[in-house]
Amino acid sequence: MGDQKVQEEDAFLRAVRTAPIIDHHAHPLLTRQATAAGKFPLQAITTEAEGCALAATTASLAHVRAVKQLASVLGCEATWSSVQAALESKRQQEEVYEDWVKSCLSSICTILVDELIGDERDNEPYIYFNKFGADSKRLVRIEHMAAKLINQACQEYDHPEMAFSSFIMNLKNAITAKIADPMVAGFKSAIYYRTGLGISHNEDKYQAFVAFQKIHTKRGLLEAEPFSRLQDEGLNEYVIHCLASLISELASPCTKPIQFHISLGENDITLTKASPSYLQSFIKQYPTVPIVLLQSSQPFVREMGYLATVYANVYTDIGLVFPMVSRDGQEKVIRQILELCPSSKVLWSTGGHSLPETYLLAVTQMRKAFETVLSEYVKKEDLTWMEARDVVENVLFRNSNKLYRLGLDLNSPPVFTPRSESAQAELDRAGPDQGEREQSESESQSDQSDSYRATSKFDGLAKLNSAGDSIQYVRLCWHDITGTTRGRTIPIRRAMSMLQSKPDFKFSVSTSALALLQTDEMLPGVSPAEEWDLCADFKSLRVGPREGLVTVMGDFQEKDGSSVFLCPRTTLANTLRLASIHNLEFILGFEIEFVLLKRTGVRQFEMLDGDAHGWCSIRAADHDAAIAVEEAVSKLDEAGIYVETIHPESAFGQYEIVLPASPALEAVDTLIFARQVLSACADSHGYKMTLHPKPYAKATGTAAHVHMSISSPQGSDRNTWESFYAGVLKHLRSILAYTCASPVSYNRLVDGCWAGGTWVAWGCQNRETPLRKIEDSHWELKCMDGLANPYLAMAAIFSAGIDGVELGQKLLLAECTDDPATLTEEQRKKLNITEKLPATLLEALESLEKDESLREIVGGDSVERYIAVKKAEMKMLSAMDDSAQRQWIIERY
């Protein structure tokens, strides 16, 4: 019993100190330039005071405590001047500053962002957070949206009645669009410090028009300033009623919360009218509209807790007191809210804004306060350790996850793909005024329409709208364990309807989907009776591979929304998540080698004529078959995939295209889509495209070389990349089970053919080694072909590298400057080249079965399923002769 209590206490401490956080209310960071220019004073991170009142803040308990905590993290003296100097130093260099931002946000997996604070021109856009591993969504400030539409209506119509009617119509349309927008998590109202919380029960349209008419008259004056701040009694309340009415009218899946700003310490409110109790009649009027009372409602914490207790649609937030009040004050807020309010109705937010230190201090102090208060409750026997753990996980993750319908898994937080160069360029062009882009719904959709915006969930409606009117079908795909791309095709009408009415886009698929051979034969012992959800990841959406289609990759999920760890795409995502813990991020560039065969009949193909075909031969580049390749490259370009080069390879009909470098998950999605485009274009020209590793016994084989770079700052550290690639070499024999995934793959792995050879070795620019170093962390893996599942292959490679980094593995193999096969045994021994690559798939699988550390990192269940499928596949192929095998593989790959 004693051991069990210790384990339960440990579980609580792990949760309170490390549980991932959904920050359901925050604001943008300033740009580095605005930060360096002092647009937000550093001493304001612990106070709402402004102007002259700000000078006294350095004497507050909150400030003194923050100095000590920042100094501890920064490694400087615990004085205000030392902390200022250390932070100023971090702001001088962009990479150093971004590393600091990332560390400040390290506990936060998701941020819901109200973009309106300060001068928006000085702020980063909300998606900037994604760069640091915090998936972001927007909170729409309803008064700001209404003010823009009022200004627009006043400009368009001279008559106030017509202008008012136009405003109301546009407001309702805009609200409806935002409710349907998957990148909008909810709405926020600042009526608290505009006209007060005493919202009248009646939706008085006449009083709203009277207030609007005054604005219209002022707006019509010569040289009048644009209307920008809605703070007019009657009109403010009418706007809130419009919002709540539209939310309450919609079906449950589209319901989105309204946050009410109820903050502590601001100087533009009337404190006597600031109690959330003024909202009581409004709460009763809209019982199906979720309402969140923000920022602890200080000093009305108990009133806020009471409302959340007695009304099912009300939730409390205990943010912003961290780090704005003293330690005792923070602990009292937690105690007061838990006096009456169920922990299932309590949310937490940083309220962070402007400077990254606001996030760091909020998280640090919140964790300490929760640990202190809940530990006391356990010691008093009010809670058990496991009940205390549930309180922490409810407040920090589960409650927000459920309320905002984020669909996340506490045990497997979202994976975040580093921003690609194209997306970064788009972000740079967008500039700090991204938040201003709410002039129309079309502009909002345009902002979300570019590929890979570094968000884990995408605006599917906007993406489909931007694809054009010619789109007739959405193809939702997965890549199974055999390396076969499968999918469902959905008419665009159905797809649009689903996206408008549901928070996600998913279809039920039998759990046997990841237990099938290419012939649809199922593994023994697997039942088709159960189902998973295949959930679209719209950031992978591409137009193609044929006219009228868009393709999007999906991830398998359990019916409760949790991850399916057998899913190859999820396996790679989980590996990338583990890599991020070690501050490792990757850029990949794939080369697609393929052979075109002439179709001569049903299931009949023949080799193209030689026609002087040779490596990089211009004559071969002008062959009729090359037209199909060039058409495919044009289609890829239209889909936003900008091929770098095209050239013929050595075998008859063999070509290669080089895909652009991009973050790992995006790169694999792109690889799979590009192969579909190549295949479709070849078919349309009467050719068959194949990835068969050795279609001709006496010709050069066909590979899928991958270039890898560690793109995070640690990638330039020699110790890091040497340990990473030392890990890859250590596990290379096991990795081959994934990268050379078919019995015929091993026909390609021969010495003296630029195929990477047969020895575990590496060399600078040496194409006769399986691992070729190009520059620093940029290396190429040559022992991979097109029959591999690239999600699983890259997961295995990254897992091996992570193992090397975790162990600080040394690069024991010396650089090989020659073909290892041409060296004597003694020469290889001096270079520590002692292992050969597996000669068969069975040998590679046996190596994987024995490789416990790699199996653990990749995921035991995933590895077991992979081995089972591959052994069943080998058994099936063994019944065929070489000719039948060749035909069978060409037909499928």
Residue 796 has a pLDDT of 95
Element (H, E) at 648: strand 645-648
Give the Cα separation of 502 and 368 in Å (integer). Answer: 38
Q: Do 390 and 495 lie in a common domain?
A: no
Q: Sorting pLDDT into bands at 50, 70 and 90, what band is 466?
A: low
261 touches 193 (CB < 8 A): yes
283-298 average pLDDT score:
90
189 touches 143 (CB < 8 A): yes
Mean pLDDT in the chain?
85
- Check whether 423 has a pLDDT greater than 70: no
Q: How would you label 315-335 residue by residue, b for 16+ Cβ within 10 Å and e otherwise?
A: bbbbbbbbbbbbbebbbbbbe
What tokens appear for 489 in the block?
Answer: 């095709």
Give Cα separations from 775 to 63, 707, 716, 727, 779 (angstroms). Answer: 47, 11, 10, 18, 7
Tell whether 216 is covered by a domain: no
Tell whether 263 is covered by a domain: yes
Residue 414 has a pLDDT of 54
Q: Do 546 and 578 lie in a common domain?
A: no
What tokens appear for 611 in the block?
Answer: 């026609």
**Could you report the per-residue pLDDT of 207-240, keeping only the tens digit for each?**
889 999 999 998 888 678 888 888 888 899 999 9
Residue 93 has a pLDDT of 86
Domain that includes residue 734, residue range: 574-883
Q: Do 193 and 256 lie in a common domain?
A: yes
Q: What is the CATH number of the domain that holds 681?
A: 3.30.590.10
State which amino acid sits at residue 805. V
What tokens appear for 411 in the block?
Answer: 């045990």
State which amino acid sits at residue 158. D
What tokens appear for 155 in the block?
Answer: 């400009």
Residue 231 has a pLDDT of 86
Q: Do 393 and 508 lie in a common domain?
A: no
Count: domains in the chain: 3
Residue 525 has a pLDDT of 81
- Check whether 459 has a pLDDT greater than 60: no
660-679 average pLDDT score:
93
- Check whether 32 has a pLDDT greater than 80: yes
Give the Cα separation of 197 and 560 in Å (integer). Answer: 38
Tell whether 551 is covered by a domain: yes
> pLDDT above 70 covers what percent of the chain?
90
Q: Sorting pLDDT into bands at 50, 70 and 90, what band is 425?
A: very low
Q: Among the three residues 369, 403, 437, which one is the final residue of a domain in this structure?
A: 403
Q: Do 559 and 618 lie in a common domain?
A: no
Q: Do 633 and 548 lie in a common domain?
A: no
Residue 1 has a pLDDT of 52
**Could you report the per-residue pLDDT of 386-413, keeping only the tens digit for each?**
999 999 999 999 999 999 999 888 876 5
Residue 640 has a pLDDT of 85
Q: Which of 157-161, 388-392, 623-627, 869-873 has the lowest mean pLDDT?
A: 623-627
What tokens appear for 1 in the block?
Answer: 């019993």
Q: Sorting pLDDT into bands at 50, 70 and 90, what band is 253?
A: low
Residue 446 has a pLDDT of 27
Tell whether 207 is covered by a domain: no
The DSSP code for 508 is E
Q: Do 195 and 79 lie in a common domain?
A: yes
Q: Which residues contact 363 (CB under 8 A, 6 or more apart)?
A: 21, 107, 108, 322, 350
Per the DSSP assignment, residues forming a β-bridge with 354 are: 29
Q: Do 586 and 557 lie in a common domain?
A: no
Whether the model pTM is above 0.75: no
Q: What is the CATH number of the domain that holds 555?
A: 3.10.20.70
Q: Do 12 and 92 lie in a common domain?
A: yes
Please return the burial class of 770, using the count of CB atoms within 10 Å of its CB with bins 0-12, 13-18 and 19+: buried
Tell whether 442 is covered by a domain: no
- Check whether 602 has a pLDDT greater than 90: no
Residue 233 has a pLDDT of 87
Q: Sorting pLDDT into bands at 50, 70 and 90, what band is 434?
A: very low
Nearest to 444 by CA among 229, 149, 163, 219: 149
Q: Sorting pLDDT into bands at 50, 70 and 90, what band is 54?
A: confident
Tell whether 425 is covered by a domain: no
Q: Among the three residues 514, 545, 564, which one is the final residue of a domain in this structure?
A: 564
535 touches 554 (CB < 8 A): yes
The DSSP code for 565 is T
- Check whether 753 has a pLDDT greater than 80: no
Residue, of 275 and 556, whose pLDDT is higher: 556
555-571 average pLDDT score:
87
Q: Do 645 and 779 lie in a common domain?
A: yes
Q: Do 334 and 311 lie in a common domain?
A: yes
Q: What is the CATH number of the domain that holds 341?
A: 3.20.20.140
Tell whether 627 is covered by a domain: yes
Q: Among the three residues 496, 531, 564, which one is the final residue of a domain in this structure?
A: 564
Give Cα separations from 544 to 643, 658, 675, 678 (angstroms). Answer: 16, 19, 11, 11
Tell whether 253 is covered by a domain: yes
Q: Does the bond joining 160 to the residue before it have cis omega, within 30 degrees of 0?
A: no
State which amino acid sits at residue 358. T
Q: Do 638 and 716 lie in a common domain?
A: yes
763 touches 725 (CB < 8 A): no
